[in-house]
Amino acid sequence: MTDGLNEPPPPKASPLLGYGAVGLAIGLIWLGWQVVLVPLADRAPAEHAVRLSPGSAVVLAEASEAEWRAGRMDNADALARMALERAPFNLQALRVVGLVEGETGDRALADDLLTLAGNWSLRDDSSHSWLIDNRLRRGDYGSAFAHADTLARRRTEVQPQLFDLFGTAMETDPRSVPFLAGELADSPPWRAAFINSLYQRDSGIAVAAQLAMVMKDSDGRFSDAELQQLYQRLYSAGQIEALRQVRIALDRPAAGQALIDGRFEAESAILPFGWDLAVGAGYSVAALADAGPPDATNGNSRPSGALRVGHNGQSRDVLARQVTLLAPGRYRLLGRSRWEFGASQMTFSWQLVCRGAARPAGEAVIGAPTRSTPAASETWTPFSVEFQVPAEGCGSQSLQLVGENPGRRTELVIWFSHLEIVAAQ
C-alpha cells in the first residue's frame, strides 16, 4: 500500500501532438483532393478546369489555347500570360501569346515568339504553320520553306496543302525557286510526292523543268527516273521545243548526239532518248553487251554491244523505238546487221518517222536470207539510207524497228549494232 502511494503519476500528453495529428489529417485530405483534382482538371472543359485548379500553369495554358481557338483573343492572351508567370518555359502558353500577337498586335513580336516556340519543339505545328505564312508574306522563302519542310516530314496529311503552297510560290515569284531547290537537294522524304504533285498543276511541267535546270549542278539533281518523268511529260504534251531546250540545258543525255547508244551498251536509258524495247507475244528483243562486232573506234578488239531480235514472223509491233530531235536537213542512217538463223520472205525496217506523220521520212530495209545461214556465221553487213527532215511539221522524230512478213510463220533471229545518224554530205 505504501509502495503504491509512492508511484509517480503518468505523464501528461503534450498539446503539440494533438496539433500535429490534426495537421497530418489536413495534409492527407489536401493531398487526396489534389489526386482527385488533377484528373478532373485534365478532363473538364477549360473554364471549369481553371476554377478547379487556378494555379496550374498546365491548366491555364490549355485554357488559353481553347480560348484562342474560340476566337476570344483577350481571354486567351490573359490566360497564357498567367501560365507563363508560373512556368516561363511553357511551350503551349508561349505559342498562344505569339498567335494572339500575330492576330491583334505586333507581327514582328509574334514572329520572334513563335520562332522561339518552333525552335523549342519541331512538333509545334501551329507555330510552324504561322511562321510559314508570315515568312512568305515577307518574301523570306528560305525560312518559310525550312519550316514547311519540318511540317511535311512529320505530317503527311498536310503535304497536299504544303505542295500547293510551294507550287504557287514558284509560279508567282521566280525568287522562290532556288530556295525550294535547296530543300529538295537534301532529298527529303516528301521529294518524290512533291514532284509528282507538280504534274497535276496547269503549269506544273514548266515548274518542274525550271527546278531541274536550277538543280542541275547540285548533288541532289534530278535522278534519271525524275528526269525521264519530266521528259516524257513534255513529249506527251507536245512541248517539243521546251523538251529540246531542257535537254540542251541539262545535257542529259548528251545533247550533241543525234542517236543515243547506237551500239546498245548502256545499262539504262532516260526515255524518250535511248532505246524503248518492246515486250510482246511472238518476239523477244534484248540489248546485249559484248555481243556485237569489234569496235574499231575504241582502239582494241573488244566486241561492242548489239540488239538481238528473235521473231516468229507473225507480229507487226514496233520492236524498238527512240525519239530524236533532228533539225531540218538531210541525214544518213548507218548500221550493221547479222542474221543468226532462219530463212523467209520477212523484212526488218529501220524507219525514221516524224511525230504525227503517217509515212516514214526514211527507211532502211533488211531482208531475211532465202536460205538459212549457219548459226556460227559472224558476218556483219553494213546498211545505210539517206532521208530528209522537212522544215515544217517534224520537230521530233522516232527511229523505230518494225518487222513485216508476207509469207508463212517462221522463226528468225537477227542482230543489229553500230547504228548512227550523221549529216549527209
pLDDT at position 48 is 42
- Both 158 and 296 in one domain: the answer is no
| Residues 331/386, Cβ–Cβ less than 8 Å | yes
Structural domain including 296 reads: 276-423
pLDDT at position 366 is 85
- Both 388 and 340 in one domain: the answer is yes
Number of domains in the chain: 2
Q: Is residue 265 part of a domain?
A: no
Q: Is residue 219 part of a domain?
A: yes
Write out the H or E segment, with its range, that includes residue 212.
helix 204-214
Cβ-Cβ contacts under 8 Å for 237 (sequence gap 6 or more): 205
**Residue 125 is part of a domain; what is its CATH number?**
1.25.40.10
Q: Is residue 258 part of a domain?
A: no
- Both 120 and 194 in one domain: the answer is yes
- Both 115 and 236 in one domain: the answer is yes
- Both 110 and 58 in one domain: the answer is yes
| Residues 235/244, Cβ–Cβ less than 8 Å | no
- Both 151 and 295 in one domain: the answer is no
Residue that finishes a domain, picked among 250, 267, 297 = 250
Q: Is residue 380 part of a domain?
A: yes
- Both 164 and 237 in one domain: the answer is yes
- Both 33 and 178 in one domain: the answer is yes
Q: Is residue 8 part of a domain?
A: no
- At residue 199, φ and ψ (nearest 5 deg) are -75, -5
Residue that finishes a domain, picked among 250, 268, 287 = 250
User: Strands, DSSP E only, in 253-328?
Assistant: 276-277, 283-288, 306-311, 318-324
- Both 106 and 243 in one domain: the answer is yes
Q: Is residue 347 part of a domain?
A: yes
Read off the C-alpha cell for 392: 515544217
**Residue 373 is part of a domain; what is its CATH number?**
2.60.120.260
- Both 294 and 166 in one domain: the answer is no
Q: Is residue 16 part of a domain?
A: no
**pLDDT tens for each residue of the chain, 425 residues long:** 445 455 566 555 555 445 555 555 555 454 444 444 444 344 444 454 444 445 566 667 667 667 656 767 666 667 766 765 665 555 566 566 666 665 666 666 555 555 655 554 545 556 656 566 666 777 778 888 887 888 889 888 889 988 988 998 899 888 999 999 999 999 999 999 999 999 999 999 999 999 999 999 999 999 999 999 999 999 999 999 999 999 999 999 999 899 999 999 988 899 999 999 999 988 999 999 888 888 766 566 778 899 999 998 888 899 999 999 999 999 999 999 998 877 777 889 999 999 988 889 888 888 877 565 555 457 899 999 999 999 999 999 999 999 887 767 788 899 999 999 999 97
Order the strands of the 329-341 sheet from edge to edge.
283-288, 306-311, 412-423, 329-341, 381-389
- Both 84 and 204 in one domain: the answer is yes
pLDDT at position 217 is 93
Q: Residue 164, Cβ neighbours under 10 Å: how many?
A: 13
- Both 398 and 291 in one domain: the answer is yes
Q: Is residue 9 part of a domain?
A: no
Taking the CA atoms of 365, 366, 368 and 369 in sequence, report the sign of the dihedral they define.
Answer: positive
